[in-house]
C-alpha cells in the first residue's frame, strides 16, 4: 500500500484510451468513445472480484459512504453506529444526510466492539457501520447477528481493506452495502474515486440515480432522462476509472507484496514478548496493508513511536494523538463547528461527545502502533527495516 507506488504501462494504456477518445465523462457522448467505457468496465470487474451483484462507482470513498447510506433511506434523525477509530469521512457522510453519528468503542480488533454496539442501539438506530481500519475487519458474524436481531442495516466501510476477506468472502460484500475508497493512498487507486457494492437491486437503483443528480439513466438521450428523486453529483470521471481499471488488475500482485513485507516484519517483532498483535477475527484474513500491534502501556507506545521516528523509520502511526483518525482530536464534531447551521435533528440528537467515556477504546488505541506496509520495499530493505524496528522497540521497554 499504496497503489501509486507501482504505476506502469497498464495504467498509462488505460488512460491513453480515454485521452484518445476525448471523452472524460462516464455518461453520454456514445459516438465519440471508440468503444471505451472505463467506468462500466471497472464496475463489471469489481462486481466479479467482490462477488457482488451490483457496483456503482463514485468520486471518493466519502461519496461512497454518503451514497450507500442515502440509497438505503438513511436521513434526518436516523442513528448510525460507527467506531471511535476511523477517518473523519465516516461521520461526515452521516451528518451530510442529517443523520446522527453514534460513536462506539473499539476492541482489540481496532474495530467495533459488538458488546458496545448492542448497548448503543436505540429505537432510532438504523445502521451499524463497521470500519475495517488498516486492512483488517470487525467481527462481522457478531455484528450481523445484532443487525438481524434488531432489524438494522449493516454497511461495511471497507475503504482501507480491499483484498481482505472474512470466511472466504471479500470484505465489503458481507453487509447490506459495502464501500471502497480508491484515493491516492489506498491499496489500489483511481487518484480519486470510490465504489458502492450491494446485492440488493433497490439500493443499487437508488445509488446510481442519487449519485448523478437523480438521473434515471434510461434511454440514450441524457437530457430526456427522468429524475425520480433529488440527487447530487458524486460522479467519477473516465480518467479516474481508467487508472482504477488497471490497478484492480494488479490487486493480487499488490496483496502478495504486502503479505511478504508484512510477514517479514511480523516475524521479527514476534520475538519481543511484550508485543501483542491486533486480533483478527476467526475466519478473517487481512489485506496486509498495515501491521498493527500493542505495547504494554501508552507511555511505552509513545516512547517507541518517537524513537522509531528518530531512527528514520517512517510510516509508523500512533493513532491516539492523530488529528484525523481518532475521536480525541475531533473537536469540530464535539463542538459542532460548521459553516452553516446544522439541521435541527442533528442539533437536538447529537450526543455530547465532550462528556463521552471512551476509555475502553483508549485502552487499545493508546497502546497501538500501526506500520504501513509499502509495496516498493524490497525484501532486503524490509529485513533491514524489521531489524531496526526490533532494536528500537526493545530499547523502548
Catalytic residue among 186, 329, 337, 383, which? 186
Query: What is the C-alpha to C-alpha distance for residues 269 and 385, in angstroms, rounded to an integer?
Result: 11
Strand partners, 194: 58, 181
Residue whose cell numbers read 484518445: 20
Sheet architecture: strand order including 290-294? 276-277, 290-294, 368-372, 316-317
User: Is there a contact between 240 and 9 (Cβ–Cβ < 8 Å)?
Assistant: no
* DSSP assignment of 115-150: HHHHHH--TTEEEE--B-GGG----HHHHHHHHHHH
Q: Which of 250, 281, 111, 280 is nearest to 187 (CA)?
A: 250
Sequence-distant contacts of 375-384: CB under 8 A, at least 24 apart: 375/1, 375/2, 375/3, 375/5, 375/6, 375/254, 375/257, 375/258, 376/5, 376/6, 377/261, 379/260, 379/261, 379/264, 382/260, 382/261, 382/264, 382/265, 383/264, 383/268
Q: Which of 47, 91, 136, 9 is nearest to 325 (CA)?
A: 91
Query: What is the C-alpha to C-alpha distance for residues 374 and 221, in angstroms, rounded to an integer?
Result: 45
User: Is there a contact between 89 and 58 (Cβ–Cβ < 8 Å)?
Assistant: no
> Which helix (DSSP H) or strand (DSSP E) does residue 58 occupy?
strand 54-58
User: Is there a contact between 164 and 135 (Cβ–Cβ < 8 Å)?
Assistant: yes
Query: What is the C-alpha to C-alpha distance for residues 210 and 373, in angstroms, rounded to an integer?
Result: 36
Residue 303: active-site member: no
**Residue 233: phi, psi to the nearest 5?**
-105, 100
Strand partners, 290: 372
> Active-site positions?
186
Amino acid at each position: 500500500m499504496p497503489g501509486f507506488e507501482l504505476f506502469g504501462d497498464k495504467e498509462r494504456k488505460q488512460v491513453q484510451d480515454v485521452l484518445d477518445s476525448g471523452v472524460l465523462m462516464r455518461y453520454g457522448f456514445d459516438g465519440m468513445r471508440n468503444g471505451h467505457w472505463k467506468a462500466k468496465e471497472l464496475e463489471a470487474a469489481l462486481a466479479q472480484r467482490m462477488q457482488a451483484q451490483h457496483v456503482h462507482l463514485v468520486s471518493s470513498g466519502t461519496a461512497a459512504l454518503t451514497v450507500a447510506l442515502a440509497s438505503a433511506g438513511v436521513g434526518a434523525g436516523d442513528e448510525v453506529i460507527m467506531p471511535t477509530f476511523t477517518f473523519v469521512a465516516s461521520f461526515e457522510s452521516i451528518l451530510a444526510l442529517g443523520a446522527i453519528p453514534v460513536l462506539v468503542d473499539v476492541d482489540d480488533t481496532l474495530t467495533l466492539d459488538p458488546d458496545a454496539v448492542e448497548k448503543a442501539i436505540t429505537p432510532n438506530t438504523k445502521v451499524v457501520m463497521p470500519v475495517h481500519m488498516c486492512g483488517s475487519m470487525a467481527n462481522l458474524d457478531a455484528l450481523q447477528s445484532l443487525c438481524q436481531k434488531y432489524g438494522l442495516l449493516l454497511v461495511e466501510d471497507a475503504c482501507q481493506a480491499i483484498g481482505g476477506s472474512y470466511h472466504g468472502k471479500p470484505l465489503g460484500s458481507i453487509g447490506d452495502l459495502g464501500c471502497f475508497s480508491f484515493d491516492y493512498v489506498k491499496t489500489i487507486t483511481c487518484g480519486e474515486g470510490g465504489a458502492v457494492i450491494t446485492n440488493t437491486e433497490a439500493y443499487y437503483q437508488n445509488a446510481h440515480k442519487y449519485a448523478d443528480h437523480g438521473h434515471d439513466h434510461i434511454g440514450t438521450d441524457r437530457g430526456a432522462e427522468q429524475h425520480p428523486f433529488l440527487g447530487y453529483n458524486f460522479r467519477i470521471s473516465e480518467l479516474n476509472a481508467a487508472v482504477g481499471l488497471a490497478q484492480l488488475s494488479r490487486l493480487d500482485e499488490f496483496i502478495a507484496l504486502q503479505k511478504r513485507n508484512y510477514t517479514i516484519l511480523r516475524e521479527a517483532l514476534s520475538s519481543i514478548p511484550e508485543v501483542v498483535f491486533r486480533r483478527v477475527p476467526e475466519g478473517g484474513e487481512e489485506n496486509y496493508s498495515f501491521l498493527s500491534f500493542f505495547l504494554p502501556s501508552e507511555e511505552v507506545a509513545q516512547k517507541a513511536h518517537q524513537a522509531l521516528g528518530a531512527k528514520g523509520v517512517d510510516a509508523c502511526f500512533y493513532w491516539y494523538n492523530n488529528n484525523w483518525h481518532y475521536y480525541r482530536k475531533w473537536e469540530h464534531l464535539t463542538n459542532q463547528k460548521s459553516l452553516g447551521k446544522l439541521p435541527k435533528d442533528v442539533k437536538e440528537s447529537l450526543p455530547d461527545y465532550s462528556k463521552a467515556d471512551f476509555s475502553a477504546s483508549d485502552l487499545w488505541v493508546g497502546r497501538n502502533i500501526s506500520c504501513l506496509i509499502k509495496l516498493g520495499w524490497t525484501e532486503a530493505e524490509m529485513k533491514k527495516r524489521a531489524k531496526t524496528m526490533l532494536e528500537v522497540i526493545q530499547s523502548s521497554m
